[in-house]
Structure 1
Amino acid sequence: HSKKLLDTAYIDILTGLYNRNKFLDDIADLTAQAQFNGTKLGLLLIDIDNMKIINDYNGHTAGDEVLKKSAEILKRFSKNIIKAYRFGGDEFLLAIKNCSSMDSITNVCDTVFESFNSEQIKFSGGIAVYPDDSEEPEDLLRFTDIAMRRAKKDGKNRITNFKPEMQRVFIQKLNMQAKMSAALLNSDFYLVYQPQFDIKTGDLRGFEALMRWHDKELGDIGPAIFIPLAEETGMILEIGDWVLNTAFCTLKNWQQKYSFKGIMSINISPMQLKQPNFIENIRNLLIKYNLNPDAVEIEITEGIMIENMNEAIEKLNSLKNIGLRISLDDFGTGYSSLSYLQVLPLNTLKIDKSFITGITEKNGIQANITNSIITMVTKMGLQTIAEGVEKNEQLQILKEFNCHIVQGFLRGKPMPEQNCAAYLGGKKSALISLETEKS
């Protein structure tokens, strides 16, 4: 009877393989054996690729079939030197014993990989080796996971060996994540505001709210570093809420104190837009700060189109119906085509700095492209904002092309709130720009 109980504690019902508990019991023996024989122990963590898609499109039974098929393949390999375990979810683990060299571990893993692929099953794998990578079982497991994640990141359907620098990157990430959480609590994040001007009249159109982070130890950490990390860890949701709240509050403040009639432009991450309550949050903020939606511009990047185009368009239409403006950022740098512009409910198109930089070159290719984009979207009824304008020649050309708005260091750098307030209060010298810095 106790044998039966042991079996259920150690056997995975679906696949009949040993489970994680059994591995955690076995690992001490496996490493002791390797140490005694002076051999290596290889651990291969296998994570089936795109399991979510298989389950979503073909139902969970299809997912279970893939797992059973995977287990069958692994059972073929389970001999004296190889033990297979199902780790739960779509993860399996192979322990490869008595290996004299790294090559023999690699050969086994390659053979397993080919067997899976020949059965049309793709997986990302991570290898860690005792004693080369560590002698501690917890470390080895963690390292297989880090290596497997790297394999996923590098494009899936491959096996990656653990390397110490991966752990460094991993620790840096964890460290940054902890710092980000603390930064939210301690208000180490702050917003700066970059002015946008009408090209022809020079009038202020409004400001784009941009996020900054000052860390006591690391100094200024750029958005290019922390935004992707915040998206990867999901922290972008809290940070995004903070940005919306702060920008709405500032806008209300400027309207009350300086009768500011301009626009506040706020960047939204694809993850924020995906949240079921996003539209409701925006509605509540408009009520909370008693703002006219026409003064708020939601700035999106082409990234929102990748996963679920229809859902994204639906949400943007809801925002548009509430009365907010919608702006598409860095147009022309990604995979966006003009066909997007037909389906997205936009008011404004931002032309990326990379176009503006080459606009004054002699051969005129960038200039022609920029000119045709401006002409075409103007016909569609959109306003255009040129980003990253840093030279007078660029400004003159954009004027000729009938671009509407300019944003860039030439006319105004991103500024702290107090500079903006002083500027709105009539103190023109509060503006920080390349022009004012020269004089």
Structure 2
Amino acid sequence: MSRPLHVLHAEDSDDDAELILHALTDNGLEVIPRRVETEAAYIAGLDPAPDLILADYSMPRFSAERALHLLQRQGLDMPFIVISGHIGADAAVALMKAGAHDYLLKHDLARLYPAVQRELREAVERARRRRAEMALKDSDEKLRLIMEHVNDLIMVVDAQGRRLFASRSYQALFADPAAIVGTDSFGEVHPDDKERVRRVFCETVATGIGQRCEYRLALGEHGVRYIESQGSATRDECGEVSKIIVVSRDVTERKQSEARIQYLAQSDGLTGLPNRTLLTERIGQMIAQGDRHGDSLALLFIDLDYFKTINDSLGHLVGDKLLKQVAARLCQCMRKSDFVARLGGDEFLMALGGMKHSQDVALIAQKIVASISQSYNVVDHVLDTQCSVGISIYPNDGRDVQTLMRNADMAMYHAKEKGRNQYQFFSEEMGARAAERLMLGNAMQLALEREEFELHYQPCIELATGRITGVEALIRWRHPELGLLSPARFIPLAEETGLILQIGDWVLRTGCAQMRDWQTKGIENVCLAVNLSARQFRQAELPQRIAAALTDAGLGTHALELEITESMAMQDPERARELLLELQSMGIGLSIDDFGTGYSSLSYLKRFPLRSLKIDRSFVDGIPDEANDVAITRATIALAHSLGLNVIAEGVETRAQQVFLTEAGCERAQGYLFSKPVCAADAEKLLRQKYLGVSRTAAQRRGALE
């Protein structure tokens, strides 16, 4: 436009406003900007009406959505473009539907000038049409129809569809504009639309009633254009339809915008994969197709293992790039007939149609697990991740989309419980377990309030003498309907829900109080061992919580030993070392539980202030008959002694195991050979007995020497 462009700009950032202004002026536009940050200033800026409105999507005191509403409320019509640093797909769709003409991101300001030019042209055209409507509303209906659309695409055809006249704007669509008059008007109609367009035309000729029709023109080097047409029939002196005046608009840009809105509504903005909305629709189609052909459908619920650790430690930029690479690998694993979508976070779902045998599904699942476990190069990092895959099959595991997805999700969690980096098919047993988990999860909070939890204690004995040196506190749940539940039934669920923190505090406080009670009854020189959960170990205030529990119980720190697993310590070795040093400085004993079953780093192990290592029962089970278990157990004992640590063997159940461990130099042990975990009253009886696992005479002899 020849005069300066008056721009009303809703923006609260000076720097961003300057960049946006330069994006216009650098392209030759003469701009008179008026920047506002509040609703009142924006309303004032609408009088006199600007040529163009640019609005930041979200400001502390104002928003693009509000600005658009105020503009429409005043009945004004000028280009309204949203510019934002970040805008989600849902927000973009909502703004376009509400009437915004375009939106773009601040890092893509190269699009601003072309968008402004386009919208200014469209605004001029809209204004011209409004003026024509007002000037010609009393004119002849057919003349008004033609004059109203003078800048649109106009042609006149005879009753056979041959072109008798074409406006310049209509001719401009074609490679050879001068040659189109006298030709068949259906010739350039897209093959897929031709029959429908011809039917509408014939109905207009037969009835004389014009109809609106939308179709595509295939224009060779000019590409495919979307056209919206309205026909108006004229009759000859005999009353027969002889000509049809067709007024059309090129709506290609509108169709492209609609397609983009549809894409945003049904696609994942990060990976470009379909999202949950489109997923449900597509699975429904695949189920219907499978029913027609007698095929099964498989849903694979895919969840990345340890993705949260990568995201938290390296940042969301690295996490997002990793997700894009995972999405690309999943696409490589599927067939043309398959379908993969991102559900959100690190969860994906793949639908496999036309499946005849479960073995075929298993092969694809194996391919996915193997592909995802390969290393990734992401922003100067070499990353390793794995995935757990749950599989449900239609119709055996559900006859609707939601049931199939829920059951595949259950199977995926079962794969995680089984050790991750694998796939599992859904089974009815999983459904029963899930129902139990739901019931237990709801009941667990009440269990704390109703005091349904209780501690059992398993003695730890000195192998050389049989003397009881301590007890390990082990939680049980006396459920009012299910009876006494072992921790394996509810502790994993407590970890997931976060209730483990409250339960862990309860175990620590209850155990310390019981220990102090025994001391007041004359039971001395024994230690209480308490297991810490992973969530407890990550608590910044853990030392303070432990100190409070000891203080409230009146128990000395020397009477408490805390057990952690290798994997807990190795998640963040430096932080673990600092925490363990702080606990050691308080006088608390520290032990590594289940040694040898997780990831170990000897360089860190020697730096941790530990008192003992506990050999896992999985190794103790095989001694003295299994050569590998014998070798591992001997090596663990030797390693511990070289580091100045005592060794405790778990799960000792036979006299042969006791003899072997004693001869190998293992200091202490616990297991059913000596005593199962027992209630506090029975544990007190054992503690008064002082010795386990040796003859009564030997115990008395040792007692006399103490």
Identify unmatched segments of 5+ residues in structure 2: 1-95, 98-257, 377-385, 697-706
Identify unmatched segments of 5+ residues in structure 1: none
Alignment equivalent of 2:541, drawn from 273, 277, 280: 277
- Mark the structure with the bigger radius of gyration: 2
Alignment equivalent of 1:295, drawn from 554, 559, 563: 559
Partner of 1:88: 344
Q: Does 1:417 align with 2:680?
A: yes
Partner of 2:11: none
TM-aligned CA distance change 1:119 to 1:215, over 3 Å: closer
TM-aligned CA distance change 1:161 to 1:222, over 3 Å: closer
One-letter identity of the residue aligned with 1:64? D
Alignment equivalent of 1:171, drawn from 421, 435, 439: 435
Equivalent position SS for 2:610 = coil
Partner of 1:236: 500
Alignment equivalent of 2:513, drawn from 249, 260, 263: 249
* Cα distance in 1 between the residues matched to 2:345 and 2:368: 19
Q: Does 1:268 align with 2:532?
A: yes
TM-aligned CA distance change 1:11 to 1:304, over 3 Å: closer
* Post-superposition offset of 1:284: 1.9
Partner of 1:19: 275
Q: Does 1:308 align with 2:572?
A: yes
TM-aligned CA distance change 1:144 to 1:327, over 3 Å: closer
TM-aligned CA distance change 1:76 to 1:354, over 3 Å: closer
* Cα distance in 2 between the residues matched to 1:368 and 1:49: 29
Equivalent position SS for 1:275 = coil
Bigger Cα displacement from structure 2, 64-73 vs 110-119: 110-119
Map 1:18-417; keep pairs closer than 5 Å.
Answer: 18-24=274-280, 28=284, 31-32=287-288, 34-35=290-291, 40-48=296-304, 51-52=307-308, 54-56=310-312, 59-69=315-325, 81-96=337-352, 99=354, 101-102=356-357, 106=361, 113=368, 124-152=388-416, 160-178=424-442, 180-196=444-460, 205-228=469-492, 230-231=494-495, 234-258=498-522, 260-331=524-595, 342-350=606-614, 381-385=644-648, 405=668, 407=670, 414-417=677-680
* Post-superposition offset of 1:283: 1.9
Q: Is the 8 A contact 2:326 2:372 kept in 1?
A: no
Partner of 1:10: 266
TM-aligned CA distance change 1:77 to 1:221, over 3 Å: closer
One-letter identity of the residue aligned with 2:681? Q
* Cα distance in 2 between the residues matched to 1:351 and 1:159: 30
RMSD: 4.9
* Cα distance in 2 between the residues matched to 1:376 and 1:118: 32
* Cα distance in 1 between the residues matched to 2:459 and 2:676: 7
Equivalent position SS for 1:258 = coil
Equivalent position SS for 2:299 = strand
* Cα distance in 2 between the residues matched to 1:61 and 1:46: 21
* Cα distance in 2 between the residues matched to 1:56 and 1:243: 30
Q: Is the 8 A contact 2:270 2:324 kept in 1?
A: yes
* Cα distance in 1 between the residues matched to 2:514 and 2:659: 32
* Post-superposition offset of 1:85: 3.4
Q: Per chain length, whose mean CA-contact separation is higher, i.e. which structure has more relative contact order (CA < 8 Å, sep 6+)?
A: 1
One-letter identity of the residue aligned with 1:139? T
* Post-superposition offset of 1:323: 1.3
Q: Is the 8 A contact 2:570 2:600 kept in 1?
A: no
TM-aligned CA distance change 1:46 to 1:267, over 3 Å: closer
Aligned length: 429
One-letter identity of the residue aligned with 1:146? M
Q: Is the 8 A contact 2:471 2:529 kept in 1?
A: yes
CA deviation vs aligned residue, 1:121-163 (integer Å, no higher than 9, x gap): 7655444343343212210111232333445556666655444
CA deviation vs aligned residue, 1:234-266 (integer Å, no higher than 9, x gap): 543332222101101112223334374532222
* Cα distance in 2 between the residues matched to 1:374 and 1:161: 41
One-letter identity of the residue aligned with 1:415? V
TM-aligned CA distance change 1:305 to 1:348, over 3 Å: same
Q: Is the 8 A contact 2:620 2:633 kept in 1?
A: no
Q: Is the 8 A contact 1:44 1:109 kept in 2?
A: no
* Cα distance in 1 between the residues matched to 2:537 and 2:571: 12
One-letter identity of the residue aligned with 1:43? L
* Post-superposition offset of 1:92: 3.4
Q: Is the 8 A contact 2:460 2:670 kept in 1?
A: yes
* Cα distance in 2 between the residues matched to 1:90 and 1:298: 34
Equivalent position SS for 1:343 = coil
Identity %: 38
Write 1 or 2 for the structure with the bigger share of helix: 1
Equivalent position SS for 2:606 = helix
* Post-superposition offset of 1:192: 2.1
Bigger Cα displacement from structure 2, 373-382 vs 415-424: 373-382
Bigger Cα displacement from structure 2, 261-270 vs 278-287: 261-270
One-letter identity of the residue aligned with 1:417? A
TM-aligned CA distance change 1:366 to 1:418, over 3 Å: same
* Cα distance in 2 between the residues matched to 1:383 and 1:75: 52
Q: Is the 8 A contact 1:301 1:329 kept in 2?
A: yes
Q: Is the 8 A contact 1:193 1:209 kept in 2?
A: yes
Q: Is the 8 A contact 1:126 1:148 kept in 2?
A: yes
Bigger Cα displacement from structure 2, 71-80 vs 319-328: 71-80
Equivalent position SS for 1:18 = coil
* Cα distance in 1 between the residues matched to 2:606 and 2:398: 56
TM-score (norm: length of structure 2): 0.49
* Post-superposition offset of 1:367: 11
TM-score (norm: length of structure 1): 0.73
* Cα distance in 2 between the residues matched to 1:333 and 1:157: 17
Q: Is the 8 A contact 1:351 1:384 kept in 2?
A: yes
* Cα distance in 1 between the residues matched to 2:347 and 2:538: 27
* Post-superposition offset of 1:321: 1.0
Q: Is the 8 A contact 1:195 1:407 kept in 2?
A: yes
TM-aligned CA distance change 1:404 to 1:56, over 3 Å: closer
Q: Is the 8 A contact 2:369 2:422 kept in 1?
A: no
Equivalent position SS for 1:297 = strand
